A and B are shown apart, each in its own frame.
Chain A
Amino acid sequence: MSGSRFGFWVAILALLPAPASFAESPYFAWGYNSYGVPGLLDMPQAMSRPDAELDTQAFHFKGQTRVSSTFQVTPRLSGTFRYAFVRDIRRPGTTVVQHRLYDRSFSVHYRFFDERRMFPALAVGLNDIVGTGVYAGEYVVASKTLSPQLRATAGIGWGRLGSFGGFTNPLGVFSSSFKTRPGVGSSFGGTFHPDTWFRGPAALFGGVEWQASDRLRLIAEYSSDDYTREDGVAFDRRSPLNFGLAYRLSPSATLTASYLYGSAVGLQLNYTLNPRFPAYGSGRDPAPPAIVPRAQGGGAIWPEDAVEDTRLGPVLSAALAEQGLALDGLEQRGGRLRIAIRNEGYSTSAQALGRAARVLSRIAPAAIDTFAITLTTEGVPVTTATLSRDDLENLAFHPVAPDLLRAVTRVEDERSLPPALPGRYPVASWGLGPYLTPSLFDPDNPVRADAGVALRGRVAPLPGLVFEGVLHQKVIGNLDKSATASTSTLPHVRSDSALYFQADGITVPQLTAAWYFRPGRDLFGRVTAGYLETMYGGVSTELLWKPQNSPLALGVELNRVRQRDYNQLFDFRSYEVTTGHVAAYYAFSGGIHAKLSAGRYLAGDNGATLEINREFDNGWRVGVFATKTNVSAADFGEGSFDKGIRLTIPLDWVIGRPNRTRLDAVIRPITRDGGARLEVPGRLYERVRNRQASTIDASWGRFWK
């Protein structure tokens, strides 16, 4: 249920001003086709969209509605997730008409050759690589820019894209097995069928695009899709020729109208955004307090002979609070002043350090010449940054201040805390607000959700010890409406989730005590006990090894949990399990982060999960994950194995103001019992990594913001 804020961001994105436009390279694809793939109308083309662009679109044509989202993963590779509502379609190879079909599918498009002066760009793509095969089709396509306004595309397709005007597969020269396309054996969907790719009859398709004006693009294409399963049922396919016009409503929105297959009008609306280009640039953060050199009044509020003053803590605490930073403790030793802070204001630690340093430059007594700032999480130290007051004063307006200051700033692992500010503990807070718990792209219903009022409270009596609770009162929702009861042959560890949302009264999704600690250098520990999540309670333990600057981190998590009662209060059901994983995290270059974990899952099945994310230094994250355990596809049921898409959007990127909230959405087409993982609040990796040198350095320019 980690996507409880999903609906919130959907609402916000809809209101978002158009992102900053940027000069489009002439090599970018000019649009997306009806499948959400860089393309013409129904056919693909060979170019790619700008790196990191995220497209969301809806297409409707004669009984088919395709909603898709495409991410340009690298400059050459894009991936598309699609949810289609299809009416009146024949079952494959029969005349039996299915009146309603919800289909989820996934496409990839890879440009393997760039356009040259005399040579076209080339790309290969696969539609529907893990779905049930409704849209299964593969292609190799070439596109050439003939003039800045004119492009031509020609390609060869297989599967759906080889169904009209097909001829014997030319790949048959390599092996006769290419000549026939085998049927998809499994009825569970959700798995790869490489034995069908590029098999069977092939056909040619093509088209031209004319950029008539900055806003208007005209498209004509010859389609190789025969719509065999829809023709004569949903509509009459009369012609292979499609015509359309795409009109750019704004830099981010495009409306496409088309006349398809000599039969009917199709409409498509695209909305794009790019994580690299926030609407408000580096953000409208209120200006930080100016650095005040000692020569011009920095630290002059204290009498010169008062080296230590008990009022320093409260004064500093109030000034830091003004900057969204909470002071946990401080320690003055000779000319070195060390403070421990909680960053409650900024999504990057670099900016928190910068703001703290600025406040120190104004308030720290003039005798202090070294500032040490310890970043903590739940009161536990992670990192100390040490910088010289002289450097801070002298570099404040240096043209290349970031590089010069970083060179003289030490950022290192920290295990000790300065003495706590008198009266700092216990730290208590609470909040009352709305909540939204969505469940998206279910096989039966694409959007289900509960909404209501949430009361959250937390008390930290000591650094590292946190008691936390969440109460929910549902106001409206349909998460309890599930078409069918679970028939899973595995223990019902997740497939009964609808039963947990039937209660009309107050529920307690979380009630925990957590202890965070530093067992050793580069080591971080956590023990959490209580009602951990909606469906499970028990004890969760975690140990993480994550050195500063290391791309590699290793973690172990071990949990003993029991299934909670459906009413989400304090009772338990009988199912109990020990679940846990060892995990390796690795940060590759180019913002690619991978996590491989192996262990035992909630249903007692053993296996491994691979997560691959592309992360941006501004906090955006787009990724995929998949879990394979020793549960067979048949026992797993629809979907064959657990997989999904993860999207994280930092709220400050959206609103252009300092904010630490990250909107996290997990799109898991089908939640089943195999490969299911426990949700535990407060997992260590992200909170540690975000306070360490490699992450601080990636956003170091924000120190000065």
Chain B
Amino acid sequence: MMSRSVTCAVLALSLTGCAQIGAEGGEPGARLTRLLTGVTGSRDRVSDAGGGAVSPGGTASDARLIAVLPSRGATATLAIEAVNGTVTTWRTADNVTLSFDDGVLVSTRGLGFDLMGAGAEKTWAALAGGDAGPYRRQYRYLDGENHTAYVTAGCTMHDRGVEVVGGRSLRRHDEVCETFRFAFTNVFWRDGAGRVQRSRQWIGPEIGHVETAPAG
């Protein structure tokens, strides 16, 4: 039993394959399964947050996120892989991950031209204050020679008021950013508690935007 679930967990890091095998208990195998599927990490968050809410902020272990990459015509459903402080990492079945720091996209993997890292603090502050700006955001990439490259954007935040999206009344905030070579806008739709429920956020010049929404 143990060896079976260990093998399954390590051979299929995917979220779907092993979730049902890991029974509760102290066996390393079972707990490893939960660890690798990211369940353990998010359990605590469920009790903290009261459960139920589904957003890129990440709150429920059975939460699913729908992500759309318009530039590639791709849509995927993601499940929580792990939580690290305020950052939640979501994974697709084909090993693409998106990481959100309290709803703000800070990292992608598995896409090529990935966003390697980004700061979120200024965006949080701006979201909290309604209209804000200008402030700087930094995006980190890896170039074709494996060198770290930074793109700095100057941004302003604009409160666009309440919109009904997907049947819910959400407040829309546009983060309008400009870099030396590109201009882009990140859009955040937040619920009454201030959690980002939907978003349209920039990954980089090659991939463009990703759109996120709770599944179901």
Q: Could you tell me which A residues sit within 8 Å of B by CB distance?
A: 20, 275-278, 280-293, 296-298, 300-303, 309, 311, 315, 318-319, 321-322, 348, 350, 362-363, 393, 396-403, 616-618, 653, 656, 698-702, 704-705
Contact = CB atoms under 8 A, between A and B. Distances in A.
A363 to B, nearest CB: 7
Interface in B77-116: 81-85, 87, 89, 91, 94-97, 99, 101, 106-107, 109-114, 116
B142 A705 contact: yes
A296 B118 contact: no
Given A287-B91, A296-B83, A322-B13, A617 B147 contact: yes
Contact of A318 (B6, B38, B107, B117): B6
A702 B116 CA distance: 9
Contact of A290 (B31, B82, B85, B117): B82
Interface of B: 6-7, 10-11, 13, 26, 28-29, 31-32, 34-36, 38, 40-41, 44, 81-85, 87, 89, 91, 94-97, 99, 101, 106-107, 109-114, 116-119, 138, 140-148, 206
A397 B10 contact: no
Given A292-B35, A363-B32, A702 B146 contact: yes
A704 B31 CA distance: 26
Interface centre among A290, A699, A700 (most CB of B within 10 A): A290
Given A297-B40, A362-B35, A315 B10 contact: yes
Given A290-B38, A322-B13, A618 B146 contact: yes
| Nearest 6 Cβ contacts at the A-B interface | A287-B109, A281-B113, A290-B82, A286-B95, A282-B142, A699-B146
B138 A402 contact: no
29 contacts: A281-B114, A281-B206, A284-B110, A284-B111, A287-B91, A287-B109, A288-B109, A289-B13, A290-B84, A297-B40, A300-B31, A301-B28, A301-B29, A301-B31, A301-B32, A315-B6, A318-B7, A319-B10, A319-B36, A322-B11, A322-B13, A362-B36, A397-B117, A399-B106, A402-B140, A699-B146, A704-B116, A705-B109, A705-B114
A419 B136 CA distance: 50
A319 B109 CA distance: 19
A400 B152 CA distance: 12
Given A281-B144, A284-B110, A290-B84, A401 B117 contact: yes
Given A287-B110, A318-B6, A399-B119, 16 more contacts: A281-B112, A285-B109, A286-B94, A290-B97, A290-B99, A292-B35, A297-B35, A319-B10, A363-B32, A397-B101, A397-B117, A399-B106, A402-B148, A617-B145, A701-B146, A704-B116
Contacts, number: 159
B40 to A, nearest CB: 4
Contacts of B148: 402-403, 700-701
A286 B92 CA distance: 10
Contact of B116 (A286, A291, A653, A701): A701
